Structure 1
Amino acid sequence: MNLYTSNAMPVESAAATTGAKAYAWVVFALMFCLLLSDYMSRQAINALFPLLKEQWQITDTQLGSISSVVPLTVGVLTLPFSIIADRWGRVKSIALMVAVWSVATLGCAIASNYHEMFVARFFVGVGEAAYGSVGFAMLLSIFPKHMRSSIAGGFTSAAAFGSVLGVSLSGIIATHFGWRWSMGVMALLGFVLVIIYCAGITEKKLASARPDDANGTPAYGHVKLTPRALFSGLFPSRSVFCAYLGCALQIFVQGTLFVWLPSYLNRYWGMPVSEAAILAAGLVLVSGLGQLICGVMTDRISGHSLLKRWNMAIGYCLVLGTLLAIAFRLPHGNLQLALLVPGVFFLASSFGTCSAIIAGATPPAIHGSVFATLTLFNNILGLAAGPLVTGMVADAFGLEVALRWLPLAAVLPFTVFIIGRWCYVAEKAIGGARFGMST
């Protein structure tokens, strides 16, 4: 069986015009807004947990499953859907994805019980399955290589900002108009954005925005791939596998806090739903700023050195685990909040670093599939596993105990990044790295 990618773009190198560069940033802004909508639709449900728990009399495990089914579905479907998108066309595929998740979000607004909500959330995941990977691959094709961590951090920070807007707006709208209106507003935003997207993004315009540092490597094109060649392209070395795994294990912590912070503040700080949603949204906003700033900082400090990028990932995890471990053992109040703020700043700090490591080691023609693989790892081991496991622990011991032990999870990515750094050094020593930047 043979697979083909089919995003046609000329291979000859040419300096990008000022107009093309401006268009690249227009594309970035629109893709950022779409990811914003993606996560608003995904995370808005978290602010509604206290209302759904009371109205439908469901357990924390069921609440966790309503949240986790989306990233779990994304994780399962992201790779096959991204391969299809690389073949069928990224522009058309993204338009279809946004339409599907918007319709499914509208379905959440009319759900009458837990089971209907679960099915609607499943289809939200179907629509969102490949957007992050395909959208990021599209952006990588129109921006220079030295900006990869910055673009990765900037683009994916929309996940945090979308979570902020989704959770805060959802809580406010639910308080004044009911929780169904919260989901309806999220669906409406998706419908508006897909219309704007279809009017402004074309394959031809994307081709004209190709950067001048592509060195003749086709970002798009008909590339014949056997399954074995595809697998080799996705996992070219042990260090790259560690980058996939380490990133996902750090996202476990992020996914847990994004989902359970509103409930934690409601139960243990005694905050009303709307106030808990706003404070949780503020903390998630800090996480988004951290993701963006850490991406830019990694590019500035590391330059073309992958070894320095590994060092940055290790350092980020160490700081994250330390700050959260202290914060969740402090009494509720301003002192705890003072430690939570810098802690959540580093929740997704390694994503831009890992994205640059992986992008530098894999062929551009399959970057949609590459970042689908990263999305698979992040969603199944991180965003899906985190809330569900925490919900199960919360049912057994209480949510406060579950979050108190959560910082121990930061030990896992820290360890994996150390192993990945060691593998990278060993691979360079034996000349095993065929792609990527120099140390």
Structure 2
Amino acid sequence: MTRGRIFTLFLLMNIVNYLDRYITSGVLPLLKEHFHATDLMLGSLGTAFMITYSFTALPFGIWSDRWKPHKVAAIGVGIWSVATFLSSFAWSLSSLFLFRSFVGLGEAAYAATASAILSGQFPKDRRSIVLGLFNLGIPVGGAAGVLLGGVIGAQVGWQAAFALVGFPGLILAVLTWRLRIESSAVDADAAAPAGWRWNLQGIGSLFRNPAYMLACLGYSGISFAFGSIVLFAPSLFVRDFGYSLGQAGLVTGAIQVLAGLIGAPLGGWIGDAWQKRNPRGRAYILTLVMTLSAVFLFFGVAMHNITFFFFSTLFMLMHVGVASAFILDVTEKPLWNTSQSIALLIMHLLGDIPGSAIIGYISDRTSLSFSISLLPIPMVLAALFFLAAGLRSHVRFVSQGSISSS
């Protein structure tokens, strides 16, 4: 299969990935009413997903560094699709918590492999733009999840929303399993040595890599903010902006799609261009866009201004391909899947695992508007961490499996 077709398949999977993940956000007001839940309880649904997602990504990453990454990805797609369908049978909030945990398990296998597979198919100087286009799945799939959840949920109930979105992933899982990828991120001249001793040494080298660890902390700040915004934005628009459930889903979806279609490829293009002129270019663009996103979010909440919300989302989504590329830039190629997995663990453990629950807790005691107005704080911290990562990248800057000076 040509790399263009491989890219298209993985893009479709990424769209379905985020559709299944954020379907919960679209039906959140219905779940609140059906289960008589607090915002803290609803926020725990996002925590359930992220706990399994984060803690199982590492073993999947290590496994895919030694087996066929695309088959690991296919297994993950199948698991999350079945779990999404089973969510429609939830009889309590606890059972829904369980099903969403299995969605996280499946997505962990996919997330630990996808970026590395695609990075191995394209030249390094196109890495940000390729991953930026790939990560259009975040706004497109996320918006589709919110929109379909709101529309289907309002018409025929939240159960039907979960049931309908679970099927497409099963088809994509079969297609991925049958792939024949001649070269991947783990290719012949950069394959990881066998044995668990190498695993431990490799993992230890990542934790001793300042640029990598700082980038993971930057990712954590983004994860804390973005996960909470996506989960609670429709509810915010219903409660404070006066929208109906259907209107809130439509507005949220439109913002994500438009901002993502512009922001993800634009951020990737700027990141690649800046990187060619300055070896810290990707770190600098991450610092800039997260700072701007934080400013627009603060004023968007304070002024109830949808336009500011759009620009905050636009700048937020400019990070997606650039941040993934930066993680790979400062990581040895034989550890690409493992490094992605550890980054996922750190970013979610410090980011959206506690984030959605914390925002829900604060909302229950103040207001949802106030709790979301606090999110620029982790966004600014993310900007500072990426800046520090760029400044430290001269200590250990990795390119195509070899350590070099930047």
TM-score with structure 2 setting the length:
0.92
Do 1:244 and 1:354's aligned partners in 2 also have CA atoms closer than 8 Å? no
Partner of 1:396: 365
What is the number of equivalent residue pairs in this alignment?
403
Partner of 1:344: 313
- Measure the CA separation in 2 of the matches of 1:300 and 1:32: 23
Of 215, 223, 228 in structure 2, the residue corresponding to residue 243 of structure 1 is 215
Q: What CA deviation, in whole Å up to 9, does each residue of 1:14-63 have, x standing for no partner?
A: xxxxxx7xx11111111111121111111101111111111111111111
Residue 419 in structure 1 maps to residue 398 in structure 2: no
- Measure the CA separation in 1 of the matches of 2:233 and 2:63: 36
Do 1:251 and 1:348's aligned partners in 2 also have CA atoms closer than 8 Å? no
Deviation of 1:108 (Å): 0.3
Matched residue SS, 1:271: coil
Amino acid at match of 2:57: T
Partner of 1:125: 104
- Measure the CA separation in 2 of the matches of 1:153 and 1:437: 25
Of 355, 367, 377 in structure 2, the residue corresponding to residue 386 of structure 1 is 355
Partner of 1:301: 274
Task: State the percentage of identical aligned residues.
Answer: 25
- Measure the CA separation in 1 of the matches of 2:311 and 2:353: 24
Partner of 2:346: 377
Shifted more, 39-48 versus 154-163: the winner is 154-163
Partner of 2:251: 279
Partner of 2:229: 257
Partner of 2:69: 90
Q: What CA deviation, in whole Å up to 9, does each residue of 1:334-392 have, x standing for no partner?
A: xx111111111111433433322221222222211111122222322223232121111
Partner of 1:155: 134
- Measure the CA separation in 1 of the matches of 2:339 and 2:240: 41
Partner of 2:189: 218
List, as ranges, runs of 4+ consecutive aligned residues in structure 1 with deviation greater than 3 Å. 219-225, 431-439
Residue 181 in structure 1 maps to residue 149 in structure 2: no
- Measure the CA separation in 2 of the matches of 1:195 and 1:169: 24
* Shift in CA distance, 378/264, structure 1 to aligned 2, threshold 3 Å: same
Deviation of 1:242 (Å): 0.7
Amino acid at match of 2:389: G
Residue 36 in structure 1 maps to residue 38 in structure 2: no
- Measure the CA separation in 2 of the matches of 1:137 and 1:389: 32
* Shift in CA distance, 32/62, structure 1 to aligned 2, threshold 3 Å: same
**Structure 1 residue ranges without an equivalent (≥5):** 1-19
Amino acid at match of 1:106: F
Shifted more, 320-329 versus 378-387: the winner is 378-387
Deviation of 1:221 (Å): 6.2
Of 242, 245, 255 in structure 2, the residue corresponding to residue 270 of structure 1 is 242
- Measure the CA separation in 1 of the matches of 2:84 and 2:23: 10
Map 1:189-228 onto structure 2 (within 5 A): 189-199=168-178, 201-202=179-180, 206-207=181-182, 218-220=189-191, 223-224=194-195, 226-228=198-200
- Measure the CA separation in 1 of the matches of 2:86 and 2:172: 18
Deviation of 1:415 (Å): 2.1
Do 2:280 and 2:391's aligned partners in 1 also have CA atoms closer than 8 Å? no
- Measure the CA separation in 2 of the matches of 1:391 and 1:123: 22
- Measure the CA separation in 2 of the matches of 1:323 and 1:99: 38
Amino acid at match of 1:266: V
Do 2:28 and 2:235's aligned partners in 1 also have CA atoms closer than 8 Å? yes
Deviation of 1:168 (Å): 0.5
Deviation of 1:304 (Å): 6.3
* Shift in CA distance, 310/79, structure 1 to aligned 2, threshold 3 Å: same
Matched residue SS, 2:26: helix
Amino acid at match of 1:284: Q
- Measure the CA separation in 1 of the matches of 2:380 and 2:318: 15
Deviation of 1:88 (Å): 3.2
- Measure the CA separation in 1 of the matches of 2:259 and 2:55: 26
Partner of 1:324: 297
Do 1:294 and 1:349's aligned partners in 2 also have CA atoms closer than 8 Å? yes
- Measure the CA separation in 2 of the matches of 1:351 and 1:158: 10
Deviation of 1:230 (Å): 1.4
Partner of 2:37: 58
